[in-house]
C-alpha cells in the first residue's frame, strides 16, 4: 500500500494543489510586474538581450523567496535554493530563448516578449518547482520509504 506523503507541499489532495496553483499564479504575476518594470528601465541603457539576462539573475532570487515562503510555505534554506535552481535552470534558459526569438526574429517589443516568454515559462514549471521546493525525494527519503509518483 502506497503511503501518502506527509510533506505539506506534496500532500496530494486536490484542494491543496489548487490553492498552491492559485498562489503560484499570483506570485508569478508579481514577479512578472518586476520583470516588466526592469526591462523598461534597463533597455534605456542596455541592449534588450543583456538586460533580460540581468533580470533573470535578479528574479531568480526574488521568485525563490516568494515561492518558498508564500506559494509552498516551506521556508528558506541553501538546499532549497539549490533544488530550486536545479528545477528552474532549463525553464529560465527556455524563457530567455523564447524572449530572444520573439524580440529578434519576430520584432516583438521587449516588454511584450518578456510577458509572453514569462507566461509560457510559468505555466510549464509549476509542478517541477513544487517538487523541487519539497526536496528532491521529500521527507520519505530520510525515513527510507519510497515516495509514490
Mean pLDDT (the chain) is 83
End-to-end Cα, the chain, rounded Å = 13
CB atoms inside a 10 Å sphere around CB 45: 8
Q: Which residue has the higher pLDDT, 4 or 99?
A: 99
Q: Residue 124: which pLDDT band, with cuts at 50, 70 and 90?
A: confident
Q: Give the residue among 56, 10, 8 at the shortest CA–CA distance from 34.
A: 56
Confidence of residue 42 (pLDDT cuts 50, 70, 90): very high
Q: Pick from 20, 3, 2: which is nearest to 133 by CA?
A: 20
Each residue's pLDDT tens digit, 78-115: 998 998 898 889 999 999 999 999 999 999 999 999 99
Q: Among 7-21, 43-57, 102-116, whose mean pLDDT is lowest?
A: 7-21
pLDDT for 62: 93
Amino acid at each position: 500500500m502506497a503511503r501518502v506523503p506527509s510533506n505539506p507541499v506534496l500532500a496530494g489532495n486536490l484542494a491543496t494543489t489548487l490553492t498552491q496553483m492559485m498562489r503560484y499564479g499570483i506570485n508569478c504575476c508579481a514577479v512578472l510586474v518586476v520583470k516588466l518594470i526592469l526591462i523598461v528601465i534597463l533597455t534605456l541603457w542596455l541592449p534588450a538581450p543583456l538586460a533580460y539576462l540581468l533580470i533573470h539573475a535578479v528574479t531568480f532570487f526574488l521568485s525563490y523567496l516568494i515561492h518558498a515562503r508564500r506559494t509552498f510555505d516551506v521556508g528558506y534554506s541553501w538546499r532549497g535554493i539549490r533544488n530550486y535552481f536545479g528545477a528552474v535552470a532549463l525553464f529560465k534558459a527556455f524563457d530567455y530563448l523564447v524572449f530572444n526569438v520573439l524580440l529578434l526574429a519576430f520584432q516583438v517589443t521587449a516588454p511584450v516578449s518578456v510577458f509572453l516568454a514569462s507566461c509560457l515559462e510559468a505555466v510549464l514549471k509549476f509542478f517541477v518547482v513544487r517538487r523541487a521546493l519539497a526536496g528532491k525525494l521529500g521527507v520519505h527519503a530520510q525515513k527510507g520509504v519510497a515516495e509514490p509518483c
